Amino acid sequence: MIHVQQDKNVKNRHLLHSSIFNTTLRNWHTLKTELSPNNLMYPVFIVEDDDIIQPIDSMPGVSRYGIKKLKDHLEPLVKKGLSSVLLFGVIDTLPKDEQGTHASSLENPIIRAVPKLRSWFPSLTIACDVCLCPYTSHGHCGILFADGTIDNNASIHRIAEIAVAYAQAGAHIVAPSDMMDGRIGKIKNNLDKHNMGHKTAVLSYTAKFASGFYGPFRDAAKSQPAFGDRKCYQLPPGSTGLALRAAARDVSEGADMLMVKPGLSYLDILKEIKQAYPEYPIFVYQVSGEYAMIHHAAKLRAVDFQTALSEILISFRRAGADVIISYFTPVILDWIQLKSKI
Ligand code: PB1
């Protein structure tokens, strides 16, 4: 039997303890996963009544806000460094119809809120979710044919109208979550047509999957589909190929930033898209079901809240996320401020 003299240098290369025996050494190996407020975007729900706060049962700790109450809620967060929000409108008294008319009406809570938020918080970047589901009587993200299938052409025309309305209200970013084919190009063309293209970014919900993790959000936004599901326009969970094709399509149509959604169960997709498009800011959306799962697991003491959430945030950054969209943003800002280890 031939005894292979182990090369001492090879042995030394496999000694890892010398790299991690103190905090500074460990931190040097994790610089790419660090978090600052600029790595966070805070999703918020805005209702028609300016003077109310409505706690959301399915998302403990998260509320819907009237515009005046949203100012109070955001003020301390902006002081702690909050740099961006993602706005979702929720309507109660305004009627829902087949075209989602109130998605872009002057009574829409988003359209009323944006100019106020711009004046109250000049440093805050404001993104608006663009979709029809909170405003349509059928609860789907697009316009339907009489047979209940998606009329894609009518849908992207309508989505592009809504995007321009939000841009004209003052949104810095429009973020179409509808998943219709070709909506990015339609939005970019419509923004340009209205001389808004140079001052409105498009954050595409590029790789958005037909996930079981959206339930709490649909309660919060009152956006459950009235029939069927969204599997014919959101990606099948098992398809990497479609996610990469969607990213290639949205990049070719002019998206400024790309998003993967949900987060934890799609880290592989996140990594592949960041590797394929390193020149684009890649966002990951920690969705409502992920929020609720972490909240309840911690409440039941199955996990330690800060340890578990920090580990998940690190996984998003390690997989390549430049920005994390998270309902936990307020507490994460506190941790960053207290310089706790994220
Ligand atoms: O937090 C979440 O669950 C986000 C849900 C997401 C919002 N962009 C959508 C998912 C869905 O309800 O299908 C809304 C689609 N426009």
Q: Write the CATH number for 101.
A: 3.20.20.70
Tell me the C-alpha distance between 243 and 238, whole Å: 10
Dihedral, CA of residue 107, residue 109, residue 112 and residue 116, to nearest 10:
160
Q: Which of 96, 188, 261, 274 is catalytic?
A: 261
CA-proximal residue: ligand 1, atom 8 (nearest): 177
Q: Which of 96, 186, 208, 274 is catalytic?
A: 208
**Residue 27 placed within a domain:** no
Q: Model's pTM, two decimal places? A: 0.95
DSSP assignment string, 290-315? HHHHHHHHHHTTSS-HHHHHHHHHHH
Q: Could you tell me the distance, in angstroms and rounded to a whole number, from the CA of residue 161 to the centre of ligand 1?
A: 20
* pLDDT at res. 147: 97
**Residue 10 placed within a domain:** no
**Residue 2 placed within a domain:** no
**Residue 6 placed within a domain:** no
Domain containing 287 equals 35-341
Within 8 A by CB and 6+ apart from 110, the residues are: 46, 87, 88, 89, 128, 166, 169
**Residue 297 placed within a domain:** yes
* pLDDT at res. 339: 80
* pLDDT at res. 257: 98
Tell me the C-alpha distance between 289 and 38, whole Å: 24
**Residue 279 placed within a domain:** yes
* pLDDT at res. 1: 52
* pLDDT at res. 6: 58
Task: Note the pLDDT tens digit of each residue in 145-204.
Answer: 999 999 999 999 999 999 999 999 999 999 999 999 999 999 999 999 999 999 999 999
* pLDDT at res. 15: 87
**Residue 8 placed within a domain:** no
* pLDDT at res. 14: 84
* Choice from 86, 174, 217, 234 to test ligand 1 binding pocket (greatest atom count within 8 A of CB): 217
Is the distance from CB of 59 to CB of 292 less than 8 angstroms?
A: yes
* pLDDT at res. 7: 67
* pLDDT at res. 10: 73
**Residue 16 placed within a domain:** no
Number of domains in the chain: 1
Alpha helices in 194-276 (DSSP H): 215-221, 240-253, 267-276
* pLDDT at res. 224: 94
Minimal CA–CA distance to 163: which of 240, 104, 114, 244? 104
* pLDDT at res. 8: 67
* pLDDT at res. 13: 80
Q: Is the shortest distance between the CB of 222 and ligand 1 below 6 Å? A: no
**Catalytic residue status for 208:** yes
Q: Is the shortest distance between the CB of 175 and ligand 1 below 6 Å? A: no
Residues of the chain falling short of pLDDT 50: none
